[in-house]
Amino acid sequence: MFIAEINSTNDYLRQHPEVDYVRTDYQTAGRGQAGNGWESERGQNLLCSVRLKNLNLAAQHQWQINQVVALALHKTVASYLPSAINLTIKWPNDLYYGDRKLAGILIENTLCSSQIADSIVGIGLNLNQTQWHSDAPNPISLTQITGQKYDVQAVLQTFLDELSSVEWGPTLNDLYRARLYRCRGWYWWEEREVSTAPTMNGIRSTQSFEAEVADLTEQGELVLRTRDNELKTYHFKQIKYIL
């Protein structure tokens, strides 16, 4: 279904259970993770939500939904690039090209007892936009990468096809981690629960630390290994990358 203007594609699907997916040119109240806004120029990008039905997935395995969707979106975008070497999934489910954000995913699950009955997957993929007016620090679009313009509906169909072809199961974690942003090497991180003083004279805050990705738990927690060989485990929004 296509609706030219809508408040939120996720909200629309929640209010219309008979609809499997909806795409729009413009959202008046588009949302990202944790209530963040999402900037998108009218008609230039892929803004859509898709309903995953009859999942009957145990609630403790909901991380698999994130993995499936992120992998499908990664494969979709990779199909339009001459090389996907710089295309990665930034934990938990943003899509990055180099150090710049190409897409975001918002997943909202419906629980029935201890099972996830269905899930609404919201996608914001920067396709044809070339100018940005918000304070988003690092957006990029597919057309900025390749110099080409893209048919929004065609890209949506590619995503739907890829979404239906991802195999659920024990291999998801390995596939996801292989495409993870900064999955190898040492990088600076910052814990979110504590406030940090501004950087002085080029010296990082004591709340920042250097670590490498050690693992991902079955619940989607990120496990980091510090230079002191200490393992630290974080839920979403408890840790942030220092770009």
What's the predicted TM-score (pTM) here? Answer: 0.89
pLDDT at 32: 56
Distances (CA, A) of 164 to 2, 123, 176, 203: 20, 15, 17, 48
pLDDT at 204: 46
Q: What are phi and psi of 30, to 5 degrees?
A: -65, 145
Residue listed under structure tokens 């974690």: 173
Q: Please report which helix (H) or strand (E) contains residue 10, including its range.
A: helix 9-15
pLDDT at 36: 54
> What's the CA gap between 179 and 238, in Å, rounded?
21
pLDDT at 38: 63
Q: What are phi and psi of 23, to 5 degrees?
A: -125, 150
Q: What are phi and psi of 170, to 5 degrees?
A: -70, -15
Name 183's bridge partners. none
**Token pair of 168 as six digits:** 């659920």
- Give 93's DSSP letter: T
> What's the CA gap between 4 and 27, in Å, rounded?
9
Low-confidence ranges of the chain (pLDDT < 70): 30-38, 193-206
pLDDT at 196: 43
Name 224's bridge partners. 213, 232
| H-helix segments, 94-218 | 142-146, 152-165, 172-178
**Token pair of 201 as six digits:** 């004279």
Strands 94-97, 222-226: pairing is unpaired
